[in-house]
Structure 1
Amino acid sequence: MRILGRLAAEDPAQLAISCAGETITRAELAARSNRLARAFETLGVRYGDFVTIGLPNSIDFFVTVLACWKLGAVPQPLSPRLPAAERAAIVELADSALVVGADPADHPGRTCVAADFQPDPVLADGPLPEVVSPAWKASTSGGSTGRPKLIVAGAAAKGTPALAAAIARMRSADSQLVAGPLYHNSPLTASITGLLVGQHLVLLPRFDAHRALTAIAEHRIGWVQLVPTMMLRMLRLIEESPGAYDLSSLRALWHGASACPPWLKEAWITLLGAEKVFEMYGGTESQAATLITGPEWLTHRGSVGRAALGEIVVLDADGKKAPAGEIGEIYLRGPAGAPPSYHYLGAEARKRDDWESLGDLGWLDAEGYLYLSDRRTDLIIAGGANIYPAEVEAALDAHPLVLSSVVVGLPDTDLGQRVHALVQARPGLTVDDLLQHLGEHLVRYKVPRSVEFIDEPLRDDAGKVRRGEMRDAAIARMTNVLGEQMLGIQEISDRLEIQELIVAYATAIDSRDYDALDEVFEDGAPIDYRAFGGIATTFPEVKEWLRQSMAQYPAFQHLMVNPQIRVDGDRATGRVMCLNSMALPVGAGSGEPPVALLGMWYTDEYVRTPRGWRISRRGQQRSWVQGLDLPTAPTLI
């Protein structure tokens, strides 16, 4: 707050923010936020309290954030378009002292004010006693999991923005275009940093490609942060009207938030010059981050850069460092000795030792440059093959008539899942044209089995997508069309969860993580593995037997296919084919180990538990064996 006071004193008439024809100077911003802070204080807001802010992009949003800081409170922004039930869950989690932009009827027992709330003009607008909020923000997350969580910043609302501004190539003389929704971390962080170094913020109420391009020329924008969705929409307009938009004032274009298709980034490098295009990868948690310049990217095409803050590693399923070029899960940790950069409310970090994961998959090259694949939870497994939606979406978006796309996995009785594409397109695009285009860019098994054209944007203004909701909606639409021929959403969800359970079993065995089987089997579940000379007993005794018996084999892999699952309330039965390839033990100096192949069926019973579906009984049906002598055994258990 001291910095904003100094800026207001140095040049009170300097424009601080412009938005939709409204402007506010530095002096006016200081006075309005002072008065609003006093109003919040009369409403009961105190030091350390969370204040939930459900406001659209506006000058009022910034006034509200500053008012919170001036009381030592923690601003907790969220989307003003959230359903009341989802917002209520977040407010309860934060135990908010005040909810701004909400109907009191939606939050019984909470103090709420409307989006157009104005403080009593008799309240003073002079400076307040200086106080420092213990956390400068508390961001909301959890849309992809359905369970809200708060990511509370580890940094207090103090300090100098000079270092962050220098890393981001910000200059105080620049105007900054704020194109994304302020309830998302990146637009909020970038705009606050710009405000604190004295930039004039040009704020879009909502992203619109034409308005963004027009604002760059009108306000001589020097610094902008975009997401690939915005970059694509703006590029399409530039291509439609060459020379219509003046981008000559831009000094720095930053992008992040989601993987950028290489062809799209290359187009922007051609437009602006490589020295003006920058990319950063990291999370709201801020443990670590990568950075890459345009010239670097041209020699490491597709990379998001090397670690510029903290450390980044890619780990395989066993928690070991993956070799260069091998896809694994990305883990981050902060600089040695640094205090925690955040803490969660409503969630626990996904950790391996002191490394934390944000759920992304990717790989590192030999020079330490990071490349993103996709979200771990978005992975589609079709017929045993891993398909990354981001790769398919990049190919879809490369078609000149595609405005945006989202790829989801739909249940399939043959493949387990099939690739389904949701596409927002310009008039004239047909499914045949699109599939022909995809056939030139993707291997056949990655090409969507079905395509659905959607009239509305598929991603929000920050480029985010609620993939689970879109998948459920696509299933519901198909149910409406095909009626009783389609399964209900609950049964589809149950079947997919059971299929994931089957995959979890194979993953645990193949990675020798036998303790992970505790999340697969119900305790005491009878298991009969005598079809291949094994034992018949209960879990967890079988776990220890597997741990010992499988240790003699140098390597093995279980391919689980053709699941046949029947759900009946909280119980289910299933039959799944397994191909087990095993490297057999050999003596010293005997050369490459021989390989045995085992074909079988698992016959299962499942039960729904408070922790999800679990296998409650398992048997084996022996199909065939190659390369291994086994005693005669029952063929059906």
Structure 2
Amino acid sequence: MYPNWILQRAYLTPLRKALAYKGQSWTFQELNNLSIKRARQLSALGIQQGDRIAIMGPSNPDLVVMLYACMHLQCEMVMLNRRLSQEEVAYQLEDAEAVTVFVADEDVLKLPPKTAHHLFSTIAKGTEDTLDIDKEWPLHQTTTIMYTSGTTGFPKGVRQTVGNHQASATASVFNIGLQPEDVWLCAVPLFHISGFSILVRSLLYGNQVYLYDQFDVETITQNIIDGEVTHMSVVAVTLERILHTLEQLAMKASPRFKLMLAGGGPVPVDYLTRAHALNLAVAQTYGMTETSSQTATLASEDAIRKIGSAGKPLFFNQIKIAEPNDDGEGEICIRGPHVTPGYIGRFAQKSATIDGWLHTGDIGYIDEEGYLFVIDRRADLIISGGENIYPAEIENVLLTHPAVQEAGVCGKHDSRWGQVPIAFVVLKEQVSIEQLQAFCSQKLAKYKVPKEIILTDTLPRNGANKLVRRKLLQ
């Protein structure tokens, strides 16, 4: 058993600032009090300890309080991506079998029709039930469930336990170090593992979080220049926007700013060189939903010497390359206390590991000094602005259109987003490209809609008649 993080942090440092948002701030004690009140209101609605509930809302203090309230109740929280289409959300809700959805007022129309839900505003006005908050949590308790797109086109609900999150946060801090006065700027969504892990680190180590509900490059860059924040999580596209803004202002990062953690795909060498010139320490990192965030991170002092590397595994973690070829390249496998115990719903019977190792499907190698290099993320995976897009998911949607006979999707380089999806389609009856894009827009999140649809007579296939996506652009 381990302490309830929220109670323990409020007990240890009650008056220390925990959260800042749009000029307001809250201490750990204030957040604890608000979340306990919200937990009592949830209890009055009939929510019981251990219930699986879904949550959707923008990254603001209301969402933080709701998350902490559910954690007090030891609920399993299904973190809904508010960028998804109604159809995608419907799949996740059906697969997760959540008892209800807690939704921010501004997001209620993102839910499928007739979805059982409670509005944040209604909950906040509700009555309170008497409730005993558990002071301890078991390590095996599932805290969050986050969906990651599967290569079959069916998203998998990944479980993350108290132990997973705790191991991830501890290993991260062993690697980068955190001081009580450090402030982590969070402009990544809290429904992503990168965002939620920032809250976990805040609770365990007592540092403040500067929270943004959307990426505001001018204000964020000023925070970095002024030294109001010390750490930040970014993806390549947001890093470049910060670099560009600093260069336009002819300014550099404050000496108080310590580290920018860059994940969600490889960071171009040019970005690292520009960051170095602006006194901006950038550490590339490699991780996934199944590993509760980081698995390996490149130390900032190695950023130039080991350009392109994701670094070494964090303290408790192990990485190996399975079935390497003559060049040492093979599938990246991960072992450690941060690895998910498994999935829910459709994939509940699928083992997350083989002999204790998570087989990532990513291809990479480890050099003679022990540094990991990721060559390709799941071969066909498209990473657009830090978001993972699986071609099979888009193909499955296109293939439901009555005019489409075959479909193949791959990523194309894009100067802003890193990659964008494009589709190659073989038709069986006439339809316009505009009609196909409109069809996709109804069923997919905006960032998954193909930016181009190219009509063709055939798709490249191998001897087993399987689609060879890497040849699509050829």
Which AA in structure 2 matches 1:306? K
SS at match of 1:80: coil
Check if 1:295 corresponds to 2:295: no
Task: Please say if residues 309 and 374 of structure 2, whose CA atoms lie closer than 8 Å, have aligned partners that are also in contact.
Answer: yes
Task: Please say if residues 53 and 100 of structure 2, whose CA atoms lie closer than 8 Å, have aligned partners that are also in contact.
Answer: yes
SS at match of 2:245: helix
Find the aligned partners of 1:33 and 1:246 in 2 and give their Cα distance. 35
SS at match of 1:150: strand
Superposed, which structure 2 residues align to 1:573-612 within 5 Å? none
Task: Please say if residues 176 and 200 of structure 1, whose CA atoms lie closer than 8 Å, have aligned partners that are also in contact.
Answer: yes
Find the aligned partners of 1:239 and 1:339 in 2 and give their Cα distance. 38
Superposed, which structure 2 residues align to 1:432-581 within 5 Å? 469-471=448-450, 473-475=451-453, 486=455, 495-496=458-459, 499-500=460-461, 502=463
SS at match of 1:136: strand
Q: Which residue of 1 aligns with 2:388?
A: none
Find the aligned partners of 2:131 and 2:23 in 1 and give their Cα distance. 26
Instruction: Indicate the RMSD between aligned Cα atoms, in angstroms.
Output: 3.7
Give the drift of 1:207: 0.9
Give the drift of 1:36: 1.0
* Equivalent in 210, 214, 220 of residue 222 of structure 2: 214
Q: Which residue of 2 aligns with 1:173?
A: 181
Q: Which residue of 2 aligns with 1:239?
A: 247
* Equivalent in 25, 29, 32 of residue 34 of structure 2: 32
Distance 1:154 1:192, change over 3 A: closer
SS at match of 1:177: strand
Q: Which residue of 2 aligns with 1:140?
A: 147
Task: Please say if residues 33 and 67 of structure 1, whose CA atoms lie closer than 8 Å, have aligned partners that are also in contact.
Answer: yes
SS at match of 1:362: strand
* Equivalent in 291, 299, 311 of residue 305 of structure 1: 311
Task: Please say if residues 342 and 352 of structure 2, whose CA atoms lie closer than 8 Å, have aligned partners that are also in contact.
Answer: no
Give the drift of 1:148: 2.3
Distance 1:505 1:40, change over 3 A: closer
In structure 1, list runs of 5 or more residues that go unmatched: 381-388, 398-402, 414-464, 479-485, 508-559, 564-637
Check if 1:151 corresponds to 2:158: yes
SS at match of 1:240: helix
Find the aligned partners of 2:51 and 2:175 in 1 and give their Cα distance. 31
Task: Please say if residues 60 and 211 of structure 2, whose CA atoms lie closer than 8 Å, have aligned partners that are also in contact.
Answer: yes
Task: Please say if residues 349 and 356 of structure 1, whose CA atoms lie closer than 8 Å, have aligned partners that are also in contact.
Answer: no
| CA deviation string 1:50-99 (max 9, x = no partner) | 22111111011111111111111112212223222211211111111220
* Equivalent in 166, 184, 202 of residue 210 of structure 2: 202
Q: Which residue of 1 aligns with 2:401?
A: none
Distance 1:3 1:353, change over 3 A: closer
Q: Which residue of 2 aligns with 1:341?
A: 340
Distance 1:342 1:504, change over 3 A: farther
Find the aligned partners of 2:13 and 2:179 in 1 and give their Cα distance. 16
Distance 1:71 1:470, change over 3 A: same
Distance 1:55 1:219, change over 3 A: farther
Find the aligned partners of 1:354 and 1:235 in 2 and give their Cα distance. 40
Superposed, which structure 2 residues align to 1:47-446 within 5 Å? 47-101=49-103, 103=108, 106=111, 111-120=116-125, 123=128, 128-130=133-135, 132=137, 134-142=141-149, 146-156=153-163, 162=170, 164-217=172-225, 220-243=228-251, 246-272=253-279, 276-286=281-291, 289-308=295-314, 309-315=316-322, 320-324=323-327, 326=329, 328=330, 330-335=331-336, 341-345=340-344, 346-347=346-347, 348=350, 355-375=357-377, 376-378=379-381, 393=413, 397=415, 403-408=416-421, 410-411=423-424
SS at match of 1:371: strand
Which AA in structure 1 matches 2:44? T
Find the aligned partners of 2:150 and 2:89 in 1 and give their Cα distance. 11
Distance 1:339 1:30, change over 3 A: closer
Give the drift of 1:503: 6.0
Find the aligned partners of 2:114 and 2:228 in 1 and give their Cα distance. 47
Find the aligned partners of 1:344 and 1:405 in 2 and give their Cα distance. 30
Give the drift of 1:145: 5.5
Give the drift of 1:193: 0.8
Find the aligned partners of 1:314 and 1:2 in 2 and give their Cα distance. 37
Give the drift of 1:234: 0.8
Find the aligned partners of 1:24 and 1:292 in 2 and give their Cα distance. 33
Give the drift of 1:179: 1.4
Distance 1:411 1:40, change over 3 A: same
Task: Please say if residues 104 and 112 of structure 1, whose CA atoms lie closer than 8 Å, have aligned partners that are also in contact.
Answer: no
Give the drift of 1:131: 5.3
Which AA in structure 2 matches 1:202? Y
Give the drift of 1:296: 2.4
Task: Please say if residues 282 and 303 of structure 2, whose CA atoms lie closer than 8 Å, have aligned partners that are also in contact.
Answer: no
Distance 1:504 1:100, change over 3 A: same
Distance 1:333 1:175, change over 3 A: closer
Which AA in structure 2 matches 1:361? I
Distance 1:128 1:104, change over 3 A: farther
Find the aligned partners of 1:350 and 1:123 in 2 and give their Cα distance. 39
Find the aligned partners of 2:47 and 2:230 in 1 and give their Cα distance. 38
SS at match of 1:377: coil
Task: Please say if residues 88 and 107 of structure 1, whose CA atoms lie closer than 8 Å, have aligned partners that are also in contact.
Answer: yes
SS at match of 1:100: strand
Task: Please say if residues 177 and 225 of structure 1, whose CA atoms lie closer than 8 Å, have aligned partners that are also in contact.
Answer: yes
Distance 1:408 1:128, change over 3 A: closer
Task: Please say if residues 284 and 309 of structure 2, whose CA atoms lie closer than 8 Å, have aligned partners that are also in contact.
Answer: no
Task: Please say if residues 4 and 72 of structure 2, whose CA atoms lie closer than 8 Å, have aligned partners that are also in contact.
Answer: no
Give the drift of 1:187: 1.7
Q: How does the TM-score come out when normalised to structure 1?
A: 0.57
Task: Please say if residues 187 and 215 of structure 2, whose CA atoms lie closer than 8 Å, have aligned partners that are also in contact.
Answer: yes
Distance 1:506 1:124, change over 3 A: closer
Q: Which residue of 1 aligns with 2:406?
A: none
Residues matched between the structures, number: 414
Give the drift of 1:26: 2.0
Q: Which has the higher contact order (CA 8 A, sep 6+)?
A: 2
In structure 2, list runs of 5 or more residues that go unmatched: 383-390, 392-409, 427-444
| CA deviation string 1:216-268 (max 9, x = no partner) | 3456211212111110111111122202x653321122111211111212221
Distance 1:505 1:3, change over 3 A: closer
Find the aligned partners of 1:284 and 1:257 in 2 and give their Cα distance. 11
Distance 1:10 1:44, change over 3 A: same
Find the aligned partners of 1:339 and 1:215 in 2 and give their Cα distance. 31
Give the drift of 1:128: 2.5
Q: Which has the larger radius of gyration?
A: 1
Find the aligned partners of 1:180 and 1:8 in 2 and give their Cα distance. 25
Percent sequence identity over aligned pairs: 20
Report which stretch shifted further, 16-25 or 5-14: 5-14
Find the aligned partners of 1:474 and 1:208 in 2 and give their Cα distance. 28
Q: How does the TM-score come out when normalised to structure 2?
A: 0.75
SS at match of 2:62: helix
